[in-house]
Amino acid sequence: MTHDPVCGMEIKDISKAEKTEYKGKTYYFCTTLCKIQFIQNPEKFVEKDNGDEDKHHQH
């Protein structure tokens, strides 16, 4: 299951979804607006996607 990294919406058909590649990984978006937001600040959304959980467990 693929989710838009910006808004979290489930992408049901990735063949029709907006997409971009960042650091070797392909990201899919529900709308062009989400794609533009991602391109403007990808680290904001990659962080959220890659382990927010780790930040909560630091001592």
CATH of 2-53 among 2.30.170, 3.30.43, 2.50.20, 3.40.50: 2.30.170
Q: Which residue has the higher pLDDT, 43 or 49?
A: 43
pLDDT of residue 49: 56
Q: How far apart are CA 59 and CA 47, in angstroms?
A: 19
Is pLDDT at 57 greater than 70 in this prediction? Answer: no
Pairing of strands 25-29, 10-11: unpaired
Tens digits of residue pLDDT in 6-45: 999 999 999 999 999 999 999 999 999 999 999 999 999 9
Q: What is the pTM of this model?
A: 0.77
- Domain range annotation of the chain: 2-53
Handedness of CA 33, 36, 26, 42 (dihedral sign): negative
